Amino acid sequence: MDAAAALTRAAPRSPRRFHAGRWVLPVYTALVVAYLFLPIVVMIAFGFNDLRGRFNFTWQGFTLEHYATVFTSQPRMNAALLNSFIVAVVSTVAATTLGTLIGLALTRYEFRGRGPLNLLIFLPIATPEIVLGASLLAMFVSAGVERGLPTIIIAHIMFNISYVVVTVRARLAGFNRAYEEAAMDLGADEWTTFRKVTFPLIAPGILAAGLLAFALSIDDFVITQFTAGPDQTFPLWVYGASRIGVPPQVNVMGTLIFGVALLGVAGWILLQRRQASLLATPGVGP
Amino acid sequence: MSAWLRQRRWLVPYLFLLPGGLWLLIFFLVPMLTMASVSLQEGTLGTGFRMTFNVGVFPEVLARWDTQFLRSIQYGLIVTLLTILIGYPMAYTIAFRGGRYKSILLLLVIMPFFTSFIIRTISWKFILADQGFVLGTAKEIGLLPEAFRVLGTPTAVIAGITYNFLPFVVLPLYVALEKIDHRLIEAANDLYASRVQSFLRVTLPLSLPGLFAGSLLAFIPAVGDYINAELLSGTPDTVMIGNVVQALYLQNNDYPQASAISLILMAGLIVGVIAYTRVLRGQELTA
Amino acid sequence: MTDQRNDQTQIERAIARALAQGRISRRRFLRQAGKGGLITASALSLPAILAACGINPGGSGSPGASAGSSLVGGTPSGKLVFANWPLYIDTTNDDVEVAEEAGQRESATLDAFTAETGIEVDYVEAIQDNQEFFGTIQPALAQGSDTGWDMIAPTDWMVGNMIRLGYLEEFDVAVSVPNFVANAADKYKNPSYDPNNRHSVPWQSGVTGIAYNPALTGREITGFGDLLDPAFEGQIGMFSEVRDSLSLALLHNGIQPKDATEDDVRAANDLLKEQQPLVRGYYGNEYAQELADGNLAVTMAWSGDVFQLQFDNPDLQFVVPEAGGILWIDNMCIPKGAQHPADALAFMDYVYRPEVAAQITEYVNYICPVPEAQEIIRQHAAEAETDEDREYLEAVAESPLVFPTEEMLANLHSYKVLSEEEERLWNELFQEVTLG
């Protein structure tokens, strides 16, 4: 086929149709995000509910008083929140580190025992949380280990490692070693290569894995319920409170957490924009 | 230091594996063995449990709870399908059209999950209430019959589980899609492929690792879930095997039976996933 | 909290014995842990975790099984660890002075108690479910060692079970809890599950009955039979708690729970199986939301919840089924091996002062065991500063859900105290209904 015909065929069809088609996906994405956020909106709304009784189920009126009392009226909620945060941060850091190391080993090196290792990593994911939790409890009790924050962290690291490995490997699988070889050809030693070539390239995958681990940890209920002992994390506390009626301070706290996350995102956007514009400015940058 | 390490190159992967692997060994494998041992025991909390090698517990359990086992698998499959159908276009959009908003969009997907899922589920109960602002309005304008309800039906449970696991599907899909080299797609287009064709024959196959990971991350926890069934529906016809385990473990304190069910569930899932892996040959897990 | 449990070695040995499995020796466990060598920057290396968790290689001496029933009492030591259900005590303290003196701002009742007696209270809402909670303390009790709790508040049938198993400390209520003897209603003295209150005194009490939404039912509801009415298909709520559901069914069949035979129970369970297609769900506490949302027309319910719901929707009604309802009592009791039993007794005595009982009931809204509290709440209502408060307090004082009439009480029964085999049977039967 001659060049002109080939170009015509490959060209987009009528501009109008193309234009409409462009919007389908973004609109769809917006709808899905709205769907994801719908319960959040409800949660925020009920933080303003002016309750007469104790149950926060029907709308009765607008008030800001719960925002005033959020930090004082439920001290156990605050303690539970702090616990959740500590557990999430520690277990995320640990699991991401351990899991990335395993992911690196699996995708880049030859070694014996690959099969059993894959099985070992895969099994925690294949196991329902209730089984993981119950079996850990059985072990802790047999070994005489007292349940509390440390056991929760242990459990969270355990299940997070597998998720990190799976996520990171999806990213590492197609990694092109040529970049590393090029760097080493240019005189960099292994550690420098890792630092300046490998790590930046796999960083997004690690970040995604870390986010996943954090989300899993901070929201975990089932495994935590079995390994917590007397300590409580936020989901445990809310579950207990919800049996009777979620106090509005929970909604307020949820809203605040959400707001902080939102601010974090906004701040990061701004930071990225600044960096981008800095790099675009001639004369500035590396 | 690097010289020492370079001489023992073979050590490196093992060093990488050691910390994580050991952690999993101690805090996953050992408890599993403990649980396997418990399943073969008999007794009660009051009189204590004795090891009797009661292998009969497994057929007993399968016979008694077969409906719940099957139902959980069924729900799991439906949830997996739904999360992929909903999540794939989402991940695709973020990866291919996200531009500099990629990370923000990803964070948007995860952010609702920074609040407790109990709160989110309770909010769903409110949204889906029989006379709530969604259904109530629809009923008033005659769109839906008066007796229609979502809560207390399998629909509510499946919808809840789908909602909860959507990000866990979107993320791996995104990761896989994002690293696809766009030049491959351009090349396909250059070679006269239509957009649909280049998607089906280039993008989709390349995103298979993400699909694989995502589908597992949805299916397996979905099968073992019990919270959604508990909170969004109290009826016996939505009882999943996870509810059974929880009831047996926490209400009856019947550890042997609960452990036996757990083992069967695990074994079933493992067999299923190995078969799944074979079908998607050449993918990560048996690399 | 972790410093309470200084007898892990006993507990772990108990579990090992009870579970009859190959025990991981502590030394081997620690050695494996030591090999852990985590590369992570986390400060929680395994040996450190274990050390923080308090595994004592030395181990303390075995306490041996408690001999006979020696009474507890004596001088309080200054600390009390109390496990209770959620939302069962007032949680705010408007009396700033008292709060500051006690060093906390959590609960007016607890703070005042601390201010007066100097006893610090570690109050934990650890009980969500009787059986669940029992599962967490049973191993220690079986060994005869400290559970970590000085006082717990299980429901009456669980108290009965624990007494049967010898898991509760005994005390002389006349000597140690005089306010109970002086102020409690007669109904709560000498209950069937704990003759002469040798092991427990009530905390709060409540009624399991039926709640309904007249707007949805269109008529008055009078008894359990209405829960079987096909007209309400898909809008009926039942409890997942086996004792509540089976007991109401037994009463409907004309049988008192405490007299029920196995055949009676099977018949009651068959009734529930027949009912099952009509039932919207088998709930725990979540039924309250379903009722409030209008998903349920008629449901089994607990009195205190309905009282609260009536603030949102004054139309909601609560009735004691004409065939009979259940009066349950959550009780303060002291588990065997508790470290501060005298402090527990001091607290028990404290809350039986009428003004303290009134304060607790004003918040909790379940049935108060002290009749005098009603008058005190009326007084509070009269002295109330805002209209809102006055209305609220008047509602509490006059509600039969908080201060039931004699008529109501006459129609209320207690749960049957079950043996282990009976419990197993009841659970298995009822699970055919709830789990399918």
More confidently predicted of C422 and A273: C422
* Least confident residue range of A196-200, C49-53, C373-377: C49-53
More confidently predicted of A65 and C244: C244
Measured in degrees and rounded to the nearest 5, phi and psi for residue A90 equal -60, -50
pLDDT at C58: 21
Chain B contact present for A8, CB below 8 A: no
**pLDDT confidence bin for C149, thresholds 50/70/90:** confident
pLDDT at B2: 63
pLDDT at B67 > cutoff 70: yes
pLDDT at A206 > cutoff 80: yes
Residues A211, A216, A219, A225, Cα dihedral to 10°? -150
Q: Report the percentage of chain C scoring pLDDT > 70.
A: 80
Distance from CA of C182 to the nearest CA of A (A): 32
Sign of CA dihedral A70, A71, A73, A75: positive
Burial zone of C400 (CB within 10 Å; 0-12 exposed, 13-18 middle, 19+ buried): middle
> CA-nearest residue of chain A to C48?
A150
More confidently predicted of C392 and C10: C392
Reading the block at residue C435, the tokens are 């789990």
In terms of DSSP H, where are the helices of C149-261?
156-165, 173-176, 178-183, 214-217, 242-252
Distance linking the first and last C-alpha atoms of chain C: 40
pLDDT at C86 > cutoff 60: yes
* Least confident residue range of B101-110, B275-284, C183-192: B275-284
Calculate Rg over the CA atoms of chain A: 25
For range C393-413, the mean pLDDT? 87
For range B19-45, the mean pLDDT? 87
Reading the block at residue C334, the tokens are 């002291």
Chain A contact present for C316, CB below 8 A: no
Q: Chains meeting A at 3+ CB pairs closer than 8 A?
A: B, C
Average pLDDT, whole number, for chain C? Answer: 78
Angle between helix B208-224 and helix A149-172 axes, rounded to 10 deg: 150
C interface with B, Cβ–Cβ < 8 A, is 17-22, 24, 32-33, 35-40, 129, 131-132, 135, 138, 142, 165, 234, 237, 240, 276, 279-283, 286, 289-290, 293-295, 420, 424, 427, 431, 433-436
B115 closest CB neighbour out of A43, A46, A139: A43
Which span out of C145-149, C343-347, C408-412 was modeled with the highest average pLDDT? Answer: C343-347
pLDDT at C96 > cutoff 70: no
For range A262-275, the mean pLDDT? 75
pLDDT at B282: 58
The answer to whether the CB atoms of C289 and A55 lie below 8 A apart is yes
Q: Chains meeting C at 3+ CB pairs closer than 8 A?
A: A, B
Over the stretch C300-345, which tens digit does the pLDDT of each residue have? 999 888 888 887 788 999 999 999 999 999 999 999 988 899 999 9
A138 closest CB neighbour out of B31, B117, B223: B31
**pLDDT confidence bin for B105, thresholds 50/70/90:** confident
Helices (H), strands (E): how many in chain A?
13, 0
More confidently predicted of C175 and A277: C175
Three-state SS sequence of B143-208:
CCCCCCCCCCCHHHHHHHHHHHHHHHHHHHHHHHHHCCCHHHHHHHHHCCCCHHHHHHHHHHHHCH
* Least confident residue range of A79-93, A181-195, B39-53, C33-47: C33-47
Distance linking the first and last C-alpha atoms of chain A: 47
Sign of CA dihedral A79, A84, A90, A91: positive
> CA-nearest residue of chain B to A6?
B192
pLDDT at C13: 39
Contact C348, C330 (CB under 8 A): no
* Least confident residue range of A264-278, B134-148, C94-108, C174-188: C94-108
Burial zone of C243 (CB within 10 Å; 0-12 exposed, 13-18 middle, 19+ buried): buried
For range A238-260, the mean pLDDT? 78
Measured in degrees and rounded to the nearest 5, phi and psi for residue C253 equal -80, 5
Question: Which residues are within 8 A (CB) of B37 and not within 5 positions of it... i.e. 6 or more apart?
Answer: B51, C21, C22
pLDDT at B283 > cutoff 70: no
Q: Which residue has the tokens 């005489």?
A: A144
**pLDDT confidence bin for B46, thresholds 50/70/90:** low
pLDDT at C93: 56
The answer to whether the CB atoms of B243 and C295 lie below 8 A apart is no
DSSP structure string for A215-282: HHHHH--HHHHHH-TT---HHHHHHHHHHH---HHHHHHHHHHHHHHHHHHHHHHHHHHHHHHHHHST
More confidently predicted of A8 and B202: B202
Q: Report the percentage of chain A scoring pLDDT > 90.
A: 14
pLDDT at C198: 92
Calculate Rg over the CA atoms of chain C: 24
- Hey, which residues 170-199 in chain B have their CB within 8 Å of chain C? none
3-state secondary structure (DSSP) of residue C399: coil
Over the stretch C197-225, which tens digit does the pLDDT of each residue have? 999 999 999 999 999 999 988 899 999 99
Residues A52, A53, A58, A62, Cα dihedral to 10°? 30
Distance from CA of A250 to the nearest CA of C (A): 14
- Encoded amino acid at B63, one letter: A
Which span out of A125-129, B10-14, C112-116 was modeled with the highest average pLDDT? Answer: C112-116
For range C381-391, the mean pLDDT? 85
Reading the block at residue A128, the tokens are 């329902």
Which span out of B124-138, C59-73, C217-231 was modeled with the highest average pLDDT? Answer: C217-231
The answer to whether the CB atoms of C38 and B51 lie below 8 A apart is no
What is the DSSP code (8-state) at residue B131?
T
Distance from CA of C13 to the nearest CA of A (A): 8
* Least confident residue range of A7-16, B1-10, B263-272: A7-16
Chain A contact present for B66, CB below 8 A: no
Q: Which residues of C touch B152 (CB under 8 A)?
A: 234, 280-281, 295
Q: Which residue has the tokens 């009826």?
A: B235
DSSP structure string for C244-285: HHHHHHHHHTT--GGG--HHHHHHHHHHHHHHGGGEEEEEST
Distance CA A228, CA C32 (A): 23
> CA-nearest residue of chain B to C137?
B45
3-state secondary structure (DSSP) of residue C123: strand
pLDDT at A205 > cutoff 50: yes
Distance of CA B172 to the CA centre of its chain: 13
Residues B244, B247, B252, B257, Cα dihedral to 10°? 30
With CA atoms as reference, report the closest residue to A78 among A241, A182, A215, A233: A233
pLDDT at C46: 32
- Hey, which residues 252-281 in chain A have their CB within 8 Å of chain B? 254, 257-258, 261-262, 265, 268-269, 272, 276
The residues that bridge with C279 in the sheet, in sequence order, are C236
**pLDDT confidence bin for C415, thresholds 50/70/90:** confident
More confidently predicted of B173 and C106: B173
The answer to whether the CB atoms of A40 and B120 lie below 8 A apart is yes
Q: Which residues of C touch B48 (CB under 8 A)?
A: 17-20, 142
Contact C186, C258 (CB under 8 A): no
B13 closest CB neighbour out of A105, A238, A262: A105
Helix (H) or strand (E) holding C88: none
pLDDT at A141: 66
A158 closest CB neighbour out of B24, B103, B242: B24
Chain A contact present for B111, CB below 8 A: yes
Q: Which residues of C touch B229 (CB under 8 A)?
A: none
With CA atoms as reference, report the closest residue to B156 among B79, B95, B212: B79
A261 closest CB neighbour out of B30, B106, B111: B111
Measured in degrees and rounded to the nearest 5, phi and psi for residue C155 equal -75, 160
pLDDT at B66: 93
Q: Which residues of C touch A240 (CB under 8 A)?
A: 86, 125, 128
pLDDT at A91: 95
Chain C contact present for B49, CB below 8 A: yes
Distance from CA of C95 to the nearest CA of A (A): 14
More confidently predicted of C182 and A249: C182
The answer to whether the CB atoms of B110 and A215 lie below 8 A apart is yes
pLDDT at C62 > cutoff 50: no
With CA atoms as reference, report the closest residue to C412 among C287, C299, C288, C248: C248
Chain A contact present for B210, CB below 8 A: yes
More confidently predicted of A97 and C103: A97
Distance from CA of B16 to the nearest CA of A (A): 5
pLDDT at C103 > cutoff 70: no
Q: Which residues of B touch C22 (CB under 8 A)?
A: 37
For range C343-354, the mean pLDDT? 92
Q: Chains meeting B at 3+ CB pairs closer than 8 A?
A: A, C
**pLDDT confidence bin for A18, thresholds 50/70/90:** low
Q: Which residues of B touch A111 (CB under 8 A)?
A: 10, 13-14, 17
For range C371-399, the mean pLDDT? 87
A150 closest CB neighbour out of C29, C52, C286: C52
pLDDT at C293: 77
C128 closest CB neighbour out of A143, A153, A243: A243
With CA atoms as reference, report the closest residue to B83 among B73, B91, B71: B91
Over the stretch A72-93, which tens digit does the pLDDT of each residue have? 767 778 888 899 999 999 999 9
Chain A contact present for C2, CB below 8 A: yes
Best B2, B10, B17, B96 residue to mutate vs chain A (most A CBs within 10 Å): B17
Question: Which residues are within 8 A (CB) of A5 and not within 5 positions of it... i.e. 6 or more apart?
Answer: none
